[in-house]
């Protein structure tokens, strides 16, 4: 039945799956994965509407921080669990052992967090998820840093142009590695009302079963105005 959910796109199909989900109280495990330092733990905290130093927040840091897959149950809806994974490609979690070490196959849905540059390990993770016939969102994090750096170095700096360049690199990197219809979101975990964070929430909401969708909507950080954004078929954010 989880498999049915992962292959479901049409609202009517989601409806059918949701009925059975409600009946048997199925858990949904969402893994937050990506390279070390890409901002996974910070992103989990943002999703849970916590600051990094709040009690119960995932530890974050400038050096390698998360050393085991750690569950963070949704505060209002225990059936949805966010798993903060260690980073791929460190000496403790080398890329060739990572999937096995973190138990990659046990998760139902994935969010790959990538910062600064599009990397080989991003592709590896995406391909593995596709091979398992599961779904993922690709999150390009720390967008605030990129914009600040561009603004400093470019005389003709334009926010939308820079965002578009970053988005294209991610989409091309994924499609060029045989990933079908990747969904890419540009976020800053420190600026939840900006860039694609509202779109990401909206996408999570429509992609999960109804009962869980309601819970995720409840969890939406208050400063996010989901109605201000929508996902277009080509996944280019469009303000409405």
Ligand X SMILES: Nc1nc2c(ncn2[C@@H]2O[C@H](COP(=O)(O)OP(=O)(O)OP(=O)(O)O)[C@@H](O)[C@H]2O)c(=O)[nH]1
* Minimum distance from residue 85 beta carbon to ligand X (Å): 8
Least separation in angstroms between residue 81's CB and ligand X is: 17
Sites for ligand X among residues 28-87 (CB under 6 A): 36-42, 60-62, 64-66, 86-87
The strand pairing partners of 113, in sequence order, are 34, 139
Q: Is the CB of 8 or the CB of 45 nearer to ligand X?
A: 45
- b vs e for 77-109, b when ≥16 Cβ sit within 10 Å of the residue's Cβ? bebbbbbbbbbbbeeebeeeebbeebebeebbb
Q: Which is nearer to ligand X, 144 or 150 (CB)?
A: 144
Count of residues that bind Mg ion according to CB under 5 A: 4
- Burial profile 49-70: b = 16 or more Cβ within 10 angstroms, e = fewer: ebeeeeeebbebeeeebbeebb
Residue 220 near which of Mg ion, ligand X, none (CB within 5-8 Å, type-dependent): none
CB of 34 to ligand X, least distance (A): 6
Which of ligand X, Mg ion, none interacts with 127 (beta carbon under 5 to 8 A by kind)?
none
Closer residue to Mg ion in complex, CB, 29/65: 65
CB of 64 to ligand X, least distance (A): 4
Q: What are phi and psi of 105, to 5 degrees?
A: -75, -15
Count the residues of the shown chain that bind ligand X, applying the rule CB under 6 A.
22
Binding pattern to ligand X, positions 151-190, x when CB under 6 A? Answer: -------------------------------------xxx
Q: At what angle do helices 95-102 and 120-131 cross, to 10 degrees?
A: 40
The CA distances from residue 44 to 28, 78, 111, 165, 220, in Å, are 15, 15, 10, 26, 12
Q: What span, in angstroms and rounded, lies between the C-alpha atoms of 67 and 162?
A: 34
Residue with tokens 């980073």: 87
Q: How far apart are CA 65 and CA 26, in angstroms?
A: 31
Residue (62 or 234) nearer to ligand X, CB: 62
Does 26 contact Mg ion by CB under 5 A? no
Between 35 and 205, name the residue whose CB sits nearer to Mg ion: 35
Which of the residues 101 through 160 are near ligand X (CB under 6 A)?
A: 141-142, 144-145
Task: Establish if 41 lies at the interface with Mg ion (CB under 5 A).
Answer: yes
**Contact positions toward Mg ion, by CB under 5 A?**
40-41, 65-66
């Amino acid at each position: 039945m989880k498999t049915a959910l992962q292959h479901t796109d049409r609202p009517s199909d989601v409806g059918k799956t949701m009925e059975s989900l409600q009946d048997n109280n199925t858990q949904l495990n969402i893994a937050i994965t990506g390279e070390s330092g890409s901002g996974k733990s910070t992103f989990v905290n943002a999703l849970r509407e916590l600051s990094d130093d709040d009690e119960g927040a995932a530890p974050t840091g400038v050096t390698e921080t998360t050393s085991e897959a750690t569950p963070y149950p949704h505060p209002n809806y225990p059936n949805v669990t966010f798993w903060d994974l260690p980073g791929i490609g460190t000496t403790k979690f080398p890329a060739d052992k990572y999937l096995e070490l973190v138990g990659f196959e046990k998760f139902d849905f994935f969010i790959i967090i990538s910062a600064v540059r599009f990397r080989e390990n991003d592709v590896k993770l995406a391909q593995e998820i596709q091979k398992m016939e599961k779904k993922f969102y690709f999150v390009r994090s720390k967008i605030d840093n990129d914009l600040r750096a561009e603004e400093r170095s470019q005389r003709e700096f334009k926010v939308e142009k820079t965002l578009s360049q970053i988005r294209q690199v991610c989409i091309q990197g994924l499609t060029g590695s045989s990933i079908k219809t990747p969904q890419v979101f540009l976020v800053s975990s420190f600026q939840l009302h900006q860039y694609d964070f509202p779109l990401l929430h909206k996408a999570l909401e429509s992609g999960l079963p109804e009962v869980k969708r309601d819970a995720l909507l409840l969890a939406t950080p208050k400063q996010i105005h989901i109605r201000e954004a929508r996902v277009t078929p080509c996944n280019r954010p469009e303000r409405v």
